Amino acid sequence: MRRFEPFEPRPRIAVAVSGGADSMALALLADRWVKPLGGEVVAVTVDHGMRPESAAEALRVAGWMEARGVVRETTPDGDKILMGEGASMEILAEDARGPRNAGQTARLLYRRVVEFYPNSPLAPEAAWRAADIRWQFEKADAFRRPSAKEREAYLREQLYEDEMKKIIKTWPGSKQADLAAFEMIDNKLCGDWQGQPKCPEKESEYYEKFAAEHPDGPRTAQALYQATYRQAVLGDMYAADGSDKKMDVARNHARELAKRMADKFPTSDYTARAAALVYKVDQGLAVYGSDKD
């Protein structure tokens, strides 16, 4: 196995097992290699149909695999086992003392839930978590690059959207679909506003459109807050330009959005934060740039 390195610190290895001598030996050797490293083998039992006895062999291998603690497609509660391991690795990824590749390992385990158990009630959440881990890694990488400072979104590398789009298509109307749609707004946002109102104007539209299309979603309050913030910023920008009418429109819109949040999401932290923004607006305190001091 060393010839195929590098592996993650606690390797998760998938082995296709038909029940024949070769595949069973491979699974056994992989299991012996991976266990001392704290990893596990995920066995996929295959009835290849090449011999009359292949179906019976595939059934017999089930007990052998389960006796060794190997998770496979027919393992009882296998979806829960993989989901639990993924959640544990995701927590370790946030710990500075955790395994270096814990995040990628968590993503792999979540993907296995979807691949092995597509009809599991855990599949939508597993798909979302796997996609979100990739999204956050790519986002962190993209925003470390010089192009992250470009005002126009198309001038920087776009984050990979296919997994997010698949969640929306596969589980429309679900919580996970709402989460995916919200994340994809990242690809439309400006890098640096450079004091120009065009960016906060468009971004406010994106967030308000999201809130209108997902009125009761898990990110609706957050989207409305982001729109409120951008309207408050626009008020500052227009005030600096001497555009008093536009300033009044933007600030009044910020107040309206905050009122909507108070009515619909009275206990949300985002509603409280929007109220704080409006307080600054009413007191004549600057919003734009104050969060960077």
Tens of pLDDT, residues 177-205: 999 999 999 999 988 888 889 999 999 99
* β-pair partners for 121: none
* Percent helix, percent strand, percent coil in the chain, to nearest 5: 65, 5, 30
Report for 35-39, 93-97, 207-211: range of highest mean pLDDT:
207-211
Give the DSSP H or E segment for 71: strand 71-72
For residues 204-233, one letter each, b for 16 or more C-beta atoms within 10 angstroms of the residue's C-beta and e for the rest, the string is: bebbbebbeebeebebbbbbbbbbbbbbbb
Instruction: Give me the residues paired with residue 12 across strands.
Output: 40
List pLDDT tens digits, range 108-144: 889 989 988 999 999 999 999 999 999 999 998 887 8
- Measure the CA–CA gap between 124 and 111, rounded to whole angstroms: 10
Question: Helix or strand or coil: residue 87?
Answer: helix
Banded model confidence at residue 76, pLDDT cuts 50, 70, 90:
confident
β partners of residue 15: 43
